[in-house]
Chain A
Amino acid sequence: MEPAIFYILAAVTVIATLFAIAEKHAVHAIVYLVTSFFALSVIFFMLGAPVVAVFEVIIYAGAIMVLFLFVIMMLDLGHPERARLPGGRDWWPALVLGAVTLAAALTLFVSRGPAASAAGKAIGVKEFALALFGKYGVAVEVISLQLLFALVGALYLGKRRNDRGEGGRRLGEGQSLLREERHP
């Protein structure tokens, strides 16, 4: 029963990803990709990784894809008739390269023959947390630093300023306005 569910979910993932790639409307592509991520998260769950499955839904489908949607709607990019679409000249080198990569990988797997799959036990939340915060505690610290850098960088890039560098002056004006409001 479980292998059948795995293969069905694998098919759903691959087909949804294919549709996402071939879709010229960016919003539709994002929705196809969310479908693919949901199927992939169930695959993660069946492979004995409940924590990763939950984070896949929460962070990937819930946060990152919504961030994409937010940017597409904010910049008004959901008009495929206005954008330049890839033609046949763009498709065939990519398809050839992808087919070669895929054929190489499949040949490798087929030539090795079926290896004996060890009966791996499912990994619970406790063991995962022990590994994450014990053995890889430094990685957690590095990730927190990285997220802080990303926050600062996004704030810097997203700050609205014009070309003559008057952003700082306008910020100062805003602060003085605030001060005047506070002390009339």
Chain B
Amino acid sequence: MIVPYEHVLVLAGILFALGLVCVMVWRLNLIMLLIGIEIMLNATMLAFVGGAARWGMADGQVFSLVIMAMTSAEVSLALAMVVYLHRRKKTVEADEFSELKG
């Protein structure tokens, strides 16, 4: 462990807050909203890896790998949905898609 565990957690907290701000600010653009979710998941991965280094166990790294696989599945599905929605209404603004049946 090169730095105290608290400092890793502080960095993860800062990144998570930045991702949260990104999601809330860009809630009208679907692409930037997904980017905010990516930032938050990265912060979570950093917390897991820091925990793995703190206690010397591989479990945290396994969890971060699981998060990465989950993210790739989520992003591929979400971007396919973005392409589908853009084909329907020619925009990616989230406010345009407020009804269920179009």
Contacts and interface: CB of A to CB of B under 8 A. Distances in A.
Nearest to A2: B2
A37 B20 contact: no
B61 A51 contact: yes
Given A52-B65, A97-B20, A75 B83 contact: yes
Interface residues of B, number: 72
Contacts of B59: 131, 135-136
Interface string A1-35: 01100110010011001101100001001100100
Contacts of A157: 77, 80-81, 83-84
Interface of A: 2-3, 6-7, 10, 13-14, 17-18, 20-21, 26, 29-30, 33, 36-37, 40, 43-44, 46-49, 51-52, 55-56, 59-60, 63-64, 67-68, 71-72, 74-75, 77, 83-84, 86, 90-91, 93-95, 97-99, 101-102, 105-106, 109, 112, 114-115, 117-123, 127-128, 130-132, 135-136, 139, 143, 146-147, 149-151, 153-154, 157-158, 160
Given A47-B52, A98-B18, A122-B53, 18 more contacts: A3-B3, A6-B7, A13-B15, A14-B15, A17-B19, A52-B64, A59-B72, A68-B79, A71-B79, A90-B25, A93-B24, A97-B20, A99-B17, A120-B56, A132-B58, A132-B65, A136-B66, A139-B66
Interface of B: 1-11, 13-22, 24-29, 31-32, 34-36, 38-39, 42, 45-46, 49-50, 52-59, 61-62, 64-66, 68-77, 79-84, 86-87, 92-93
